[in-house]
Amino acid sequence: MTDLHRLSIRELSQGLTNAEFSSRELTEHYLKRIGKIDAQVQSFITVAEEQAIAQANAADALLKSGGAGALTGIPVAHKDIFCTNGIKTTAGSKMLDNFISPYDATVVAKGKAAGLVTLGKVNMDEFAMGSTSESSYFGATRNPWALDRVPGGSSGGSAAAVAADLAPFATGTDTGGSIRQPASFCGLTGLKPTYGRVSRFGMIAYASSLDQGGPMARSAEDCAYLMNVMAGHDAKDSTSVQKEADDYVANLNGTAVKGLRIGIPKQYFNVQGLDADVKARVEESLKKLEDMGATLVEIDLNMTDAYVPTYYLIAPAEASSNLQRYDGVRYGYRAENPTDILDLYKRSRSEGFGAEVQRRILIGTYALSAGYYDAYYVKAQKVRRLIQQDFLKAFENVDVIAAPSAPTTAYKIGANLSPTEMYLGDIYTLAVNLAGLPAINAPVGFDADNLPVGLQLIGNYWSESQLLSVVHQYQQATDWHTKRAAIAEENA
């Protein structure tokens, strides 16, 4: 079989159940592709070949004995921010270059319990801080659609691996857009769930009040399968909500669009720097949804100008606190020959962290310091509440809110944007995390350079099933999500 990487998750599940192929064959197929193609894409930090084969063999035994579940034997790639017992977890940082976690993140453990086969760990911006995956200590990942372009970030490795057909689906995390923006840049579907829907236990912390894991895949249906594994309450994460997760696959329906009221924020389509092709593709997709029975309603989101400054205070503040634990003493990188304990702290942290991480620690520490705390941090928290209220007010009249996922398509590797230019590119994604809402990216066409464009749909709290269903129905009526990058067409 040479085309196993073409199959959807549902088809893979059926093929495994009907013994058309084994998990071992499927896993080896993907490992072979990674071996041949990933030298060009550089999406994996660690390929877990031995463990993957062992897990595939175990899955095959279960499939034979009749004890298998829907996903038993299907391979997955994990963002290298999820702790994996026995396989390196680096968070894209020199600080954790040799770190092997003694336990699995809940998301990883749930994947194992569902019979998923871990292919390996994929690249990301260092500690998930970035929008290009270039800040990784392990080097830049390439966009499968154009190898001289970034795949987006921070979950750029997850997006590139799936877009190059090196994994059928992947986990990602989203603190301010890191699932939706790389999904947009790589032509994938990616879901950022409501804060508290997916356990953060064992997910290396960036900004704890914003971080949320979610699925990245080729379609809403494939995302729904992975959501069924990832979602749910976890006693090990105090912010995980005690609310039963949906059956996201069973809830997929073909009638979600009819009567759907889609809010179109006035402010979003006049943003400076919004690319004309992106705007056009997003508007075409909204027209399509309208043809399918949705109503477009113009709405106001008055706090739009506050998104970037608010996020870029709160996220670095939380990061500066979370990253204190990397001190060269307990685990992670340790500077050599320290003269005393202060020298050990200082050099371990300046040698172990890259420039962007250091910048955020400095900004965050400043914002939290005595004398500035009220002026910056507390003020930002108040504005955060106003942003949330802005959305809640909008949801009184609409069911979902539409936006681009990013103002541009993927830009060139090494474009060397200034930090503020890069931060401004997050304008459409940050507010969702500040408010704790769920949102999804769906591919809706291409720009003049044949680079994917993404539509973002933002839902009210706990509306993951609805978001997945809307995109699922759109994908049944269109074929953007079936388009493949040329490199994905290569056979191993």
Active-site option among 135, 136, 154, 199: 154
Residues 190-219 as x/- pattern, contact with ligand GLN by CB under 6 A? ----------------x-------------
Residue nearest to ligand GLN (CB): 178
Instruction: Determine, following the binding rule CB under 6 A, whether residue 438 of this chain makes contact with ligand GLN.
Output: no
Q: Does 426 bind ligand GLN (CB under 6 A)?
A: yes
What is the rounded distance in angstroms from the CA atom of residue 140 to the CA atom of residue 154?
11
Half-sphere exposure of 147 (CA within 13 A, CB side): 11
CA distance 422 to 124: 16
Annotation says 236 is catalytic: no
260 with 395: CB under 8 angstroms? no
Site for ligand GLN in 310-329 (CB under 6 A): 315
Interface with ligand GLN: number of residues (CB under 6 A): 13
Task: Answer yes or no whether residue 46 interacts with ligand GLN by CB under 6 A.
Answer: no
Q: Which is nearer to ligand GLN, 138 or 206 (CB)?
A: 206
Nearer to ligand GLN, 28 or 318 (CB): 318
Of 19-27, 175-183, 262-270, 451-459, the window that binds ligand GLN (rule: CB under 6 A) is: 175-183
Q: How far apart are CA 69 and CA 120, in angstroms?
A: 21
- DSSP for 296-311, please give it: EEEE--TTGGGHHHHH
Of 130 and 328, the one with the shorter C-beta distance to ligand GLN is: 130
Distance CA 80, CA 78 (A): 6
Q: How many CB atoms lie within 10 A of CB 291?
A: 10
> Alpha helices of 236-378 — where are they, by DSSP H?
276-291, 307-322, 341-352, 355-368
Nearest-approach distance from CB 246 to ligand GLN, in angstroms: 24
Among positions 133, 143, 154, 320, the unique one binding ligand GLN when judged by CB under 6 A: 154
Please choose, out of 31-39, 90-98, 171-179, 263-271, the segment that lies near ligand GLN by the rule CB under 6 A.
Answer: 171-179
Q: Would residue 121 show up in a list of annotated catalytic residues for this protein?
A: no
Comparing C-alpha atoms, which of 20, 22, 1, 16 is closest to residue 71? 16
- 240 among known catalytic residues: no
Does position 174 interact with ligand GLN (CB under 6 A)? The reply is yes
| Distance in angstroms (rounded) separating the CA atoms of residues 40 and 176 | 28
Q: Tell me the three-class secondary structure of 86-109, residue by residue.
A: CCECCCCCHHHCCCECCCCCHHHH
CA dist 9 to 65, 189, 224, 227, Å? 21, 13, 10, 12
CB of 320 to ligand GLN, least distance (A): 13
Q: How far is the CB of 313 from ligand GLN (least distance, A)?
A: 12
DSSP for 441-453, please give it: EEEEEE-TTS-EE
Range list of H helices, 96-247 = 106-113, 156-163, 180-186, 220-230
* In the complex, minimum distance from the CB of residue 448 to ligand GLN, in angstroms, rounded to a whole number: 25
- Choose which of 123, 141, 178, 460 interacts with ligand GLN (CB under 6 A): 178
| Contact stretch for ligand GLN (CB under 6 A) within 137-145, 176-184, 239-247, 390-398 | 176-184
- Taking CB under 6 A as the criterion, the residue among 93, 141, 158, 175 binding ligand GLN is 175
92: contact with ligand GLN by CB under 6 A? no
Interface with ligand GLN, residue 129, by CB under 6 A? yes
Q: Give catalytic residues, as residue numbers.
A: 79, 154, 178
Residues at the site binding ligand GLN, with contacts judged by CB under 6 A: 128-131, 154, 174-178, 206, 315, 426
